[in-house]
Amino acid sequence: MSRATCYRCFWPQAHCWCEQIVPMGTATRYVLLMHPKEFRREKANTGRLTHLCLSNSEIIQGVAFDDHPRVKAVLADPSKHVVLLYPGDEAVNLSLSPTSPVTPPGKELVVLLLDATWSCARKMLKMSPSLQRLPRIMFTPSTPSRYVIKQQPFNGCLSTLESVHEVLTALAARGEDRYELPRQLLEIFDRMQQFQIKCAVDPNLGGYRRQPYKPAGERKPFTGKSSRRRANLFRFGDQPEAEASD
């Protein structure tokens, strides 16, 4: 018999997060463009937890978004200033001292995030020219990724939840938004991972790995073709060089 599921957080009802989360209001709207693979990866997906923590947010599932009616409506709304959180040569680094506000006067800032693995996010961007044309924002991570149950491809890569935390922190420091509960996102992230770590070593639970997770500092870096493929993901510009194949 399958376990009863909470269809808001998509966790088993016995471990539902909903009552433990206080949705935060923000002046900025966050739109998570979620790859279908992430949408189905319920318990390890940080984008869904991020959405539950932010009242002014939404999730849109897909791969290519040029013809998506909701995305088209957001991009066409003259009251919005829409930006893409993605590194690039022309991206505004929110972590640096501001020379001008990110958002023009009288408009609402809307931040689009590609919620996917780096390789899938790259493909989503390539398949969505309308997203390529958007102004971009980025940040300088304040700490390495706190991800324990997943190895990031390079130093400086963060989960969706950690990335939103960095953006919220940077916008609040610039006086362009408020961050009312700065500990909530990271505390939920840590508790989610601790649950997964305990399940990984519990012999009574099926479907979990059977060995503990290594600390991030003890993991071997990617090498060879795998490393070169990942390096291509972080080349700036909209047209990536051809990736090495296995």
Residue 17 domain-assigned (yes or no): no
pLDDT at position 21 is: 86
Residue 45 domain-assigned (yes or no): yes
Tell which wins on pLDDT, 195 or 113.
113
Report d(CA 197, CA 201) in Å as an integer: 7
Rounded to 5 degrees, φ, ψ at 205 are -105, 125
For β-strands 29-34 and 92-93, DSSP reports them as unpaired
Q: Is the pLDDT of residue 231 over 80?
A: no
Residue 215 domain-assigned (yes or no): yes
Q: What is the pLDDT of residues 90-128, one digit of tens each?
A: 999 999 988 889 999 999 999 999 999 888 999 999 999
Residue 70 domain-assigned (yes or no): yes
Question: For residue 82, what are its two tokens?
Answer: 């829409």
Residue 210 domain-assigned (yes or no): yes
Structural domain harbouring 53: 23-232
Residue 16 domain-assigned (yes or no): no
- Which range is least confidently modeled, 6-20, 35-49, 150-164, 181-195? 6-20
Candidates 216, 69, 101; CA nearest to 148 is: 216
Residues of the chain with pLDDT > 70, as a percent, come to 70
Tell which wins on pLDDT, 141 or 45.
141
Report d(CA 65, CA 63) in Å as an integer: 6
The domain total for the chain is: 1
Residue 99 domain-assigned (yes or no): yes
Candidates 189, 168, 71; CA nearest to 124 is: 71
pTM of the model: 0.79
Q: What is the pLDDT of residues 129-179, one digit of tens each?
A: 999 999 999 999 998 887 766 666 666 689 999 999 999 999 999 999 999
Tell which wins on pLDDT, 55 or 194.
55
Report d(CA 157, CA 40) in Å as an integer: 22
Tell which wins on pLDDT, 132 or 219.
132
DSSP H or E run through 93: strand 92-93
pLDDT at position 173 is: 95
Residue 239 domain-assigned (yes or no): no
